[in-house]
Structure 1
């Protein structure tokens, strides 16, 4: 590797790595950059930096327009009068505190409406004779219009009415009657008044704006005087209305009180409910007593039921009742059982001494039978008493339950009637309180004296303003600057978003899906007589030369086993720097061995200006057999390893010429003579020459000019190559301005002496 070649590690991330080629399908390689990166705040900031002069121009234009508008606008003066509006507070008592607070709050809201009322405005119009003043103003405007003073911007009126036909405006001026003009004056006066205050203090400020400072002061003072006069005149009427309103309310409240009292009395007579509380207590006490008896009855019934169930079980099983506890515990049964046992023992004793027919035995057995009969009779009585006891306990429990249910129903009925009675009593009480409140307030004092009379006086009368309040030139200038910034940035963003040219390596790779072998910096300043097409030779240590060496390395490493020998350089359209790239690339390859550069652009050849001593014979003469190789090939004077074949005599049909077998044989023959061959071909889109020649080479480079070639142009060129089954080695971004590229994407590109690389920024 030659010393001037860049290290492999300096290859840009978007450059094809050694031995790697992207094989892309044309249907899925043409991607939009927006699919690869989001458009964030950093991108907007870069747009602002790139378009800063355009944005500043828009800001300056808006500022100039704003200043002109401010200078041309009619000055507006504002006069202000201060009024103390203090309502006379009523005596604070428990009966009127709420009413007082409500009326005081409403007082100021009412004053604002009075000040801006048409009645007050009409007083001002009549007092100051504003109708005559308005007629004078209209006459002055007509005179100025006839004199040609439009008051517009650059001699153009800003009033849309001035654009109407003269007969229309004259008809409109004559249209309204005197009464209509008066009403229009009143409406305008009301709309131009501003009333504020009374929120945290008792001060009310009245402001009025007008182009005439003296008129502004006169109008606002007249408004204050008319407001005070209006209040004095309306005070008595307001007091009478308030008294009448209170009287109506008292009458209505009295009627409601009488109706509620009558309803309460009728309900008490109908239900007999007077004192529901004592009656409910009595019923509740009885219910508590019944509840205690219910518990005892339930216990007795439960015990009797147990004994009764035992009897039923014995009857069902067919056994004897002598094992029942109730039977065993019965004194009668115990006594009879003892007699029975005694008789049985006696019969047993007598049977040992006497026979069965002995009178004593017969008598003893008769006594035993009688004792057994008495015992069984006693047991039956005990069993019968168990049944009877169970039935009695059950009936008693049922009666108590029924009595409890009746008591509960009675309590519910008492409560329901009590609720209704309480509701009627509350209604009577509420109506009585309202009635007494309004009646007491009506009798205490004169409502008009307490609430309607207000202490209103003028504190500061308006003086003639010395300086206008409008237009606010500083505010207009600030708004103009802000508006200019918004419009400028919006214009810049729209312009950038509509710009579909290539600006970064990432942009190029994402769009085409091809390896990007590098970029060539824009040569802004060349010395006198220096050619961009030979910059690698004249400035071998320049950043441009390093960039070309970088591209050369990418080409050689695209296939390490069989590096491309014949390279074709083309572009989508003209003026994309393909010839500059091809000639400098040939100069770079000449540092590695014998290199031939062929001018295959037979439509617009340029080698004559790049290689001045070029033979008059060239490629066409060689392919047609008119001249031999020696006559058509020239060795470069500055670089002995570089050989040139110019276009030669231009043929009438370049496409057929390049498609000939003779051209193919010439290329094959030249392969054997030179180490590297670079072919400068025509653009892909205008003609098909480059596609024909591309089939004879080892690799194709597609030159794409920065901020010139559109996405669609490059995509169409790549599609044409792919359609011809030609896979380019990669693309090269040409004529890249490092300063401008720093404003695109997330990286910066720098060129230092002896180094061409890429860094994070």
Structure 2
């Protein structure tokens, strides 16, 4: 089953994409309008052209029409080849000649340049010349560097017929109909009549070209074969005479019988020699083993030939028994006992017999080796004599075979040429390709290009997608914060509320909320007030620092309007203008600024000036004159003393401080506050700026209550704020 979270994520992504398109609708519509306008201009200024089509059935001639044949011959390249022939220069030149286009219709193809000026034509001509110049630069550099290219070549200019033929080839289109033998020939021109007559004439010129190809090929083939046959006849006669002369001189009448006997003898001698060599090798190995053993009887008896000898085997058995007998007798008798002496004499006699038998076998081996070596040498001499005789006979027979083969090949080639000459004379007038016209070109009534509906539709689609793509690209490059959702997802901060951008030059954010308490803008500040009161668990923060990342983000207006919303809830609110560098609070509320916070912190007065705002339940401590060292004054003990004095008297104390990204004043004030509210200007404050400000606040463990997104476009506000806005709009009506 599908996970519901996946559908929710997909829905959120889709709405985000739609929101981007809504935000950038001006860019999207502008790009679409420009592309559509260009498409309309190009479509309606393009000269209409007409296309006439004719169709022909083309098949290879196999003696029987393919329409009547029961077999289908698959030739994937046949129709492609015919298409190339139809578009060839020869066919185009035939069309020019048959229709007299180079004389009768010359003015049609070569326009007079004295017509009126055309902006579109001028632009097209410039673009075409630019493309040609670029391509010529690339090809020109290659030609200049080629060693085979001469320094200067005089090219003859094309004739009128060739120029017109190139024009016709440019407008000609040949398309084989798929899975058929039909070819569609179409010609495109701005004049429908020219398009029709050229399309029909191309078919006729194609037929003529195929006939010319056949006749020229047949005439050339017949001439070549006749000349070649005469040469082959002379070669055949000369080779036959040479063969007869060679056979007489070398007496090759009985050569075949001798060639039959000699290989048998050669094979027999070779077999005998191989056996003799093998026998000699075996005896040589055996003799080497005997010589390595020298006179060691035990090592000699380990050689297989000695070990398998029957006499030696019998002597070994008897000797073994004699040794056992001596061992048994030695236990009973002494060495000089007659029985022991007789046993040892018997042992000695057996050893002498064994030595005699071994010497006999060694002598036999040496004699056998000598006979094998002599036999091998005799066979080698006999084999060499036979090979010499065989090679001499083979050389003569090979030369005879070569001469006979030459005679046979000359005879076959001569007979083949004679047969081909006869066949060529019979089939000279037959066509290799059959062509039938199945549809003649009709006069086109409507232009084929431009297709206005298709062009406008494509222009509209291209413009729409280009505009959307550009909108997404600009959105991708935009690193500013534009929505509360973006702040929450990237930084994990609570968005206390969003303030709609106030439209109209006559409206001032400083007084608009006070004068329009039931407006959607005032309701936005009420929502921020509610979020602020609920931002902590036990009790709402009493001392609140309000700052921003940079100047002109609306923090001062946020302080005033938030104070008014808190005062509406019958709360006593004190605003302390802590922006000692660029104070604005006194001018917005119409309060003098000659005495204020800077004077008190500098120790020039004992009590800080707290002024009541006329007609409002708000009090203000103005900033006072701009001091030289605001950060040191705000961090002094008198600032803490001031807070200890005013905090019990008011329900809320709001600090209007300088931007946290520019100076450290806000960081100093954050230690006095229960929490900090960050004001972010939608579409102006960047992600990097807010990220840097938050890092500074976190480094000193300052508590961030949330973010107020200021000057948000109406389309970017949250859904619940739409409801309130619509509600108050109906009330105003």
Q: Same fold (TM over 0.5)?
A: yes
Deviation, structure 1 residue 463:
1.9
> What is the deviation of 1:117?
3.3
Match of 1:313 in 2: 296
Structure 1 residue aligned with 2:329: none
Q: Which residue is 1:521 aligned to?
A: 498
CA distance in 1, matches of 2:618, 2:265: 134
Counterpart position of 1:37: none
Is the 1:534–1:584 Cα contact (8 Å) retained in structure 2?
no
Task: Give the match's secondary structure for 1:142.
Answer: coil
Q: Does 1:501 pair with 2:480?
A: yes
Q: Is 2:704 aligned against 1:729?
A: yes
Mean Cα deviation higher: 614-623 or 542-551: 614-623
Q: Which piece of structure 1 moves more, 452-461 or 64-73?
A: 452-461
C-alpha displacement of 1:239: 0.9
Corresponding position of 1:582: 559
Deviation of residue 566 (structure 1)? 3.1
- Tell me what 2:151 maps to: none
**Greater RCO, CA 8 A, separation 6+:** 1
Tell me the residue number matched to 2:576. 598
CA contact (8 A) 2:681 2:709 kept: yes
User: Which segment is superposed worse, 528-537 or 592-601?
Assistant: 528-537
Segments of 5+ residues of structure 1 without an aligned counterpart are: 1-39, 93-100, 165-176, 331-373, 743-747, 755-761
1:708 to 663, 684, 692: 684
- Compute the displacement of 1:466 (Å): 1.2
Indicate which of 644, 649, 654 corresponds to 1:678.
654
Number of residue pairs the alignment of both structures matches: 619
1:358 maps to what in 2? none
Question: C-alpha separation between the residues in 1 aligned to 2:489 and 2:383?
Answer: 90
Which whole-Å CA distance do the structure 1 matches of 2:14 and 2:271 have between them?
A: 83
The one of 158, 172, 182 equivalent to 1:193 is 172
Q: Matched residues in 2 for 1:618 and 1:740: separation?
A: 43
Q: 1:53 to 1:683 in 2, by over 3 A?
A: same
- TM-score (ref. length: structure 2): 0.63
Shift of 1:219: 1.6
Report matched runs for 1:413-452 at 5 Å: 440-446=419-425, 449=428
Residue 76 of structure 1: aligned partner = 49
Q: Tell me, yes or no, if the aligned pair for 2:573 and 2:652 is still in contact at 8 Å.
A: yes
Measured after TM superposition, the shift of residue 210 of structure 1 is 0.4
2:577/2:620 contact within 8 Å kept: yes
Asked if the contact 1:594–1:676 (Cα under 8 Å) also holds between the matched residues in 2, the reply is yes
Q: 1:481 to 1:259 in 2, by over 3 A?
A: farther
Cα offsets for 1:366-418 (capped at 9, x unmatched): xxxxxxxx999999976654333222333455567778999999999999x99
- Is 1:572 the equivalent of 2:549? yes
Contact 1:574 1:683 in 2 (8 A): yes
Report the Cα offset of residue 534 of structure 1: 10
Asked whether the equivalents of residues 287 and 408 of structure 1 are also in contact (C-alpha less than 8 Å), the reply is yes
**Paired position in structure 1 for 2:439:** 460
CA separation in 1, counterparts of 2:465 and 2:558?
A: 42
Which residue of 1 is the match for residue 137 of structure 2?
Answer: none
Separation in 1, partners of 2:45, 2:80: 39
Aligned Cα RMSD in Å? 6.4
Say which SS state the counterpart of residue 446 (structure 1) adopts: helix
- The aligned residue for residue 35 of structure 2 is 62
1:292-691 → structure 2 map (5 Å cutoff): 312-314=295-297, 326=311, 385-396=360-371, 398=373, 440-446=419-425, 449=428, 453-504=432-483, 508=487, 516-523=493-500, 532=513, 545-554=526-535, 556=536, 565-583=542-560, 586=563, 595-601=573-579, 603=582, 605=584, 620=596, 623=599, 632-633=611-612, 643-645=618-620, 647=622, 651=624, 653=626, 660=633, 665-674=641-650, 676-684=652-660
CA contact (8 A) 2:229 2:418 kept: yes
Deviation at 1:546, TM superposition (A): 4.6
| Cα distance in 2 between the residues matched to 1:677 and 1:628 | 17
Matches within 5 A, 1:209-358: 209-246=188-225, 312-314=295-297, 326=311
1:215-247 deviation per Cα after TM superposition (whole angstroms, max 9, x unaligned): 111122222233333444554322111224555
SS for the counterpart of 1:89 is coil
What SS class does the counterpart of residue 503 from structure 1 fall into? coil
C-alpha contact 1:78 1:216 (8 A) present in aligned 2: yes
Shift of residue 502 of structure 1?
A: 1.1
Give, in angstroms, the shift of residue 481 of structure 1.
2.9
Unaligned runs of at least 5 residues, structure 2: 1-12, 66-72, 130-155, 301-305, 316-348, 725-733
Under a length normalisation based on structure 1, what TM-score does the superposition of the two structures give?
0.61
Cα deviation, 1:264-316, whole Å, max 9, x if unaligned, reads: x999x999899989866665566667777888899999999999999943499
Aligned equivalent of 1:123: 94
TM-aligned CA deviation for residue 472 of structure 1: 1.8
- Tell me how far apart the structure 1 counterparts of residues 466 and 501 of structure 2 sit (CA, whole Å): 32
Alignment correspondent of 1:133: 105
Q: Distance in 2 between matches of 1:546 and 1:377?
A: 134
Q: CA deviation at 1:58?
A: 2.5
* 1:579 match: secondary structure: helix
1-structure distance, mates of 2:573, 2:451: 74
CA distance in 2, matches of 1:592, 1:421: 131
Offset, 1:495? 1.2
User: Match for residue 61 of structure 2?
Assistant: 88
Q: 1:70 to 1:502 in 2, by over 3 A?
A: same
